[in-house]
């Protein structure tokens, strides 16, 4: 039966007393047994056996001066890419035996957000994974000490930190070229909220390389319902034959709006999304999109973070996992929502 109260359980101190070693020696032993002499190791092992000592994770964290939990910092965790990324983090963290703590960045931003960051750091996490699909990090990253293991997923490049990129620019470029290759004269872009949108940049550059003037991008929210009205409006303009949406949920809202405007997908208008949302393939018609490897990114972030944590625990010189910049490319998935332009 697990206990939540440990009143009668032996402490590190008890074990140290029975083994006749100091508490700092016990701390060293818990951190890295190799740093304690063989004689003391044996004495401690015997004391642990004798007292039936079971390490208290909180006491151990205090001894190691760090907690054994990985903190995941993210804004709104309900959004699709984040849910999938966090799932990958959970799965890998469970595999290596670290619990994860979710630190939700205050959506009001500014001082509110920094205050949520501070309160997470006060708990001395073993490491931090920052999900930066909102590109909020400049202010957050500078608050996290360089000595704290950290991996950033998404966002602008921070040279001195480990970071994983999902190649959104390249994927958006490829999708736009794909739509142009289907004979569409131009591609309209409907953007999800982001301070600097790599997807928009890829779209713009693809049009520019093809010498096609870029229509003004249209901003929308994370709520697919807001895209319905945009789809209806674009559907009223017969010159619109191809739309690229910043994510799949927006693409789904646009398709609903186009239907309300009496325009068929893909016969009248091609619509492409981004992410490969689980519902994309059952949409009617199934959605052409870019598959983002969110779960893989989450798992890889934990693997990189673990290397950094091991460096700290073993007092090693920092290895390359601290500044690694890894790219995880997306895939263009062609389904039934895009088609050659009808003349």
Q: Residues interacting with its own copies, by CB under 8 A?
A: 1-7, 56-59, 61-62, 65-67, 69, 76-78, 83-84, 86-87, 90-91, 94, 97, 99-104, 106, 116, 118-125, 143-145, 147-148, 223-225, 227-228, 249, 252-253, 255-256, 259, 278-279, 281-284, 286
In whole angstroms, the minimum distance from the beta carbon of 103 to its own copies comes to 7
Cα separation, 311 vs 294, in Å, equals 26
Cα separation, 242 vs 268, in Å, equals 9
Give the residue with the Cβ less far from its own copies, 20 or 94: 94
Give the residue with the Cβ less far from its own copies, 3 or 211: 3
In whole angstroms, the minimum distance from the beta carbon of 343 to its own copies comes to 26
In whole angstroms, the minimum distance from the beta carbon of 90 to its own copies comes to 5
CA 64 distance to own-chain centroid: 27
CA 243 distance to own-chain centroid: 27
Give the residue with the Cβ less far from its own copies, 35 or 112: 112
Give the residue with the Cβ less far from its own copies, 116 or 215: 116
How buried is 259 (Cβ within 10 angstroms: 0-12 exposed, 13-18 middle, 19+ buried)?
Answer: middle
In whole angstroms, the minimum distance from the beta carbon of 304 to its own copies comes to 18
In whole angstroms, the minimum distance from the beta carbon of 87 to its own copies comes to 5
Give the residue with the Cβ less far from its own copies, 50 or 143: 143
Q: Which residue matches tokens 């001894």?
A: 63
In whole angstroms, the minimum distance from the beta carbon of 31 to its own copies comes to 13
Cα separation, 121 vs 148, in Å, equals 9
Give the residue with the Cβ less far from its own copies, 25 or 186: 25
In whole angstroms, the minimum distance from the beta carbon of 225 to its own copies comes to 6
Report how far apart the first and last C-alpha atoms of the chain are (Å, whole number).
73
**Angle formed by the axes of helices 38-51 and 12-19, nearest 10°:** 120
In whole angstroms, the minimum distance from the beta carbon of 113 to its own copies comes to 11
Give the residue with the Cβ less far from its own copies, 145 or 213: 145
Give the residue with the Cβ less far from its own copies, 175 or 258: 258
Q: Which residue matches tokens 């052409």?
A: 288
Q: Which residue matches tokens 């998935």?
A: 333
């Amino acid at each position: 039966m697990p206990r939540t109260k440990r009143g009668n359980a032996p402490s590190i101190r008890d074990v140290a007393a029975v083994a006749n070693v100091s508490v700092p020696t016990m701390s060293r032993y818990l951190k890295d047994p190799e740093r304690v002499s063989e004689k003391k190791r044996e004495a401690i092992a015997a004391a642990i056996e004798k007292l039936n000592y079971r390490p208290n994770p909180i006491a151990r964290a205090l001894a190691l001066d760090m907690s054994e939990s990985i903190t995941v910092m993210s804004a709104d965790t309900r959004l699709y890419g984040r849910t999938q990324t966090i799932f990958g983090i959970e799965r890998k963290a469970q595999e290596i035996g670290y619990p994860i703590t979710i630190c939700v960045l205050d959506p009001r931003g500014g001082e509110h957000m920094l205050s949520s960051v501070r309160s997470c750091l006060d708990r001395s996490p073993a490491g931090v994974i920052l999900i930066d699909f909102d590109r909020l990090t400049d202010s957050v990253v500078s608050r996290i000490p360089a000595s704290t293991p950290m991996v950033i997923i998404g966002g602008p490049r921070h040279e001195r930190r480990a970071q994983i990129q999902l190649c959104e620019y390249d994927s958006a470029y490829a999708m736009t070229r794909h739509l142009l290759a289907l004979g569409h004269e131009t591609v309209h872009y409907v953007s999800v909220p982001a301070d600097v949108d790599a997807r928009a940049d890829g779209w713009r550059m693809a049009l520019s390389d093809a010498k096609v003037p870029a229509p003004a991008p249209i901003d929308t929210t994370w709520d697919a319902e807001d895209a319905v009205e945009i789809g209806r409006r674009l559907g009223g303009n017969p010159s619109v034959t191809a739309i690229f949406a910043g994510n799949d949920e927006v693409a789904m809202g646009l398709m609903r709006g186009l239907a309300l405007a009496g325009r068929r997908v893909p016969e009248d208008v091609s619509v492409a999304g981004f992410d490969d949302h689980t519902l994309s393939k059952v949409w009617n018609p199934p959605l052409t999109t870019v598959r983002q490897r969110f779960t893989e990114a989450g798992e890889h972030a934990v693997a990189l973070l673990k290397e950094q944590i091991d460096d700290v625990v073993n007092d090693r010189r920092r290895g390359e996992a601290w500044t690694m910049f890894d790219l995880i490319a997306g895939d263009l998935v062609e389904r039934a929502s895009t088609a050659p332009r009808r003349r």
